[in-house]
């Protein structure tokens, strides 16, 4: 993990973005680049009000209130918008932040990283690369080997116990 150089304020670490891999400029959640697209009415019919606010309007649930922040069952976590598997339970860890956290996505390409300059700071937003669902943010303060912490809203994901994976999605690895 990269750390700020001596004499530079810690905030400069985020401006480099080099440790976060490539990030894309922010674009709408209904951008045509997403393979799964629905109307606002379809999203509202599929998602409950909190899921809609988080997934389609980039809201954040309050810390320690989501159903998965303290959930430790064996299985996988899917996008609430399209069902794509994003994370495995074996890569989840307790970051102490009140949101479910992972140090690794299930495989490259399922999660999109976007530059987020909201709230007067620079962060990296993470979205489902298949449908544009806002998941949360990724930070550089996670455990090794990645050094990353995917801080994810419970309202943006669903849990699937091991053995219940659907067609076309990998079964969570045996460890």
Torsion angles phi and psi, residue 131, rounded to 5: -130, -5
% the chain with pLDDT above 70? 78
Torsion angles phi and psi, residue 170, rounded to 5: -70, 145
Instruction: Please say whether the beta carbons of 16 and 8 come within 8 A.
Output: no
Residues making up the chain, counted from first to last: 175
Instruction: Please say whether the beta carbons of 90 and 172 come within 8 A.
Output: yes
| pLDDT above 90 (res 12) | no
Catalytic member of 79, 82, 128, 151: 151
pTM reported for the whole predicted model: 0.81
Q: What is the pLDDT of residue 20?
A: 45
pLDDT in tens, 34-80: 999 999 999 999 999 999 999 999 999 999 999 999 999 999 999 99
Question: In sequence order, what E strands does the chain have?
Answer: 75-79, 85-88, 92-93, 101-102, 111-116, 123-128, 134-139, 149-152, 157-161
What mean pLDDT, rounded, does the chain reach? 84
pLDDT in tens, 99-115: 999 999 999 999 999 98
Residues 6+ apart with CB under 8 A from 41: none
Q: Is 151 a catalytic residue?
A: yes
Q: How far apart are CA 35 and CA 157, in angstroms?
A: 18
């Amino acid at each position: 993990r990269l750390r700020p150089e001596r004499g530079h304020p810690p905030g400069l670490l985020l401006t480099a973005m080099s440790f976060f891999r490539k990030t894309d400029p922010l674009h709408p959640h209904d951008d045509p680049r997403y393979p799964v697209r629905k109307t606002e009415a379809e999203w509202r019919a599929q998602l409950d009000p909190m899921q809609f606010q988080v997934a389609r309007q980039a809201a954040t649930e309050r810390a320690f209130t989501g159903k998965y922040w303290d959930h430790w069952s064996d299985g996988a976590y899917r996008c609430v918008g399209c069902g794509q598997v994003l994370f495995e339970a074996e890569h989840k860890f307790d970051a102490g932040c009140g949101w479910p956290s992972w140090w690794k996505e299930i495989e490259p390409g399922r999660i999109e990283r976007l530059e987020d300059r909201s709230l007067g700071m620079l962060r990296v937003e993470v979205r489902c690369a298949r449908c544009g669902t806002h998941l949360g943010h990724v930070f550089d303060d996670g455990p090794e080997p990645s050094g990353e912490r995917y801080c994810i809203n419970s309202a943006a994901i669903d849990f699937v116990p091991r053995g219940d994976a659907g067609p076309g999605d990998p079964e969570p690895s045996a460890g």
